[in-house]
Amino acid sequence: MNLKLKIWRQKDPNSRGKFVNYLLNDISTDSSFLEMLDVLNEELISKGEEPVIYDHDCREGICGACGLYINGRPHGPDSLITVCQLHMRHFNDGDEITIEPWRAKAFPILRDLMVDRSAFERIQQAGGFITVRAGSAPDANAIAIPTETLEHSMDFAECIGCGACVASCPNGAAMLFVGAKISHLGLLPQGQPERAKRARQMVAAMEREAFGACTNFRSCEAVCPKEISISGIARMNKDYRRAMFAGAAAPNGKKR
């Protein structure tokens, strides 16, 4: 198939970017979207031009590095997959494809299609972990967890930190991501000792970054490649409220 690509090019975080058009011929419908970009880059390098910089790592939908806007949609036209899992059979011969980086204040563009998502890492470092004694191998099943609880936790553990939720949100909010991280650990018995501290510290870290606030658009949930539910945001808010008001009397005089 032959394609017309319209790609955002930006030299560095401080330069003004712009769209540049490229014509690309003879792309196999079996190739992945990133392989298509690889072919473009080989052509650019052979002509002595700068290749298009884009992020990727695992190329199998688990690391979250490859996020892009494709024709105005995070991760492209297919649902529940990341860009690296998108194949060219979803496009037609002669199509024009617009490719942009995530657009969010908290994710500054480093170059071309690559953004800095280290704000997510700082939130994670603030409390997205559990503390365990790792001196010796624990007995198998030392802490029994009901299957239902485990699966509920796993639903949130699937978040790969790709950032599509932030990029799609009109407010640039990171609540789906942070809600997933807090819910994943907060549902497990191993996550209980630090549950309140985790909610307090991760929400505080989120607020220190340039993310906006949630106003229930739910675009995050619609574009998430891992089907993370906004119920994680409700869990995060509940844990945060408990952590901030623990011990304080409720208006009805009862303990919260």
Which is closer to ligand SF4, CB of 41 or CB of 231? 231
Distances (CA, A) of 114 to 108, 117, 242: 9, 9, 38
How does DSSP assign 34-98, residue by residue? HHHHHHHHHHHHHTTPPPPP---SSSSSSS-TT--EETTEET-SSSS--GGG-BGGGS-TT-EEE
Q: Residues 64, 101, 179, 186: which binds ligand FES (CB under 6 A)?
A: 64
Site string for ligand FES, 134-173 (x = CB under 6 A): --------------------------x-------------
User: How far, CA to CA in Å, does 78 sit from each of 39, 75, 228?
Assistant: 22, 8, 16
Query: Among residues 82 and 186, whose Cβ is nearest to ligand FES?
Result: 82
User: Using the rule CB under 6 A, is 82 a contact of ligand FES?
Assistant: yes
Among ligand FES, ligand SF4, none, the one that 66 touches (CB under a kind-dependent 5 to 8 A) is ligand FES
Strand order in the sheet with 18-24: 18-24, 3-9, 96-100, 69-70, 73-74
Q: Supply the minimum distance, in Å, between the C-beta of residue 177 and ligand SF4.
A: 4
Interface positions, 29-58, toward ligand FES (CB under 6 A): 56-58
Tokens read off for 39: 């072919």
Residues of this chain that interact with ligand SF4 (CB under 6 A) are 64, 159-165, 176-177, 180, 224-226, 228
180 interacts with, out of ligand FES, ligand SF4, none, CB within 5 to 8 A per kind: ligand SF4
Judged by beta carbon distances under 5 to 8 A according to partner kind, the member of ligand FES, ligand SF4, none in contact with residue 82 is: ligand FES
Q: CB of 124: closest distance to ligand FES in angstroms? A: 17
Integer CA distances (angstroms), 157 to 23, 186, 215, in order: 40, 11, 24
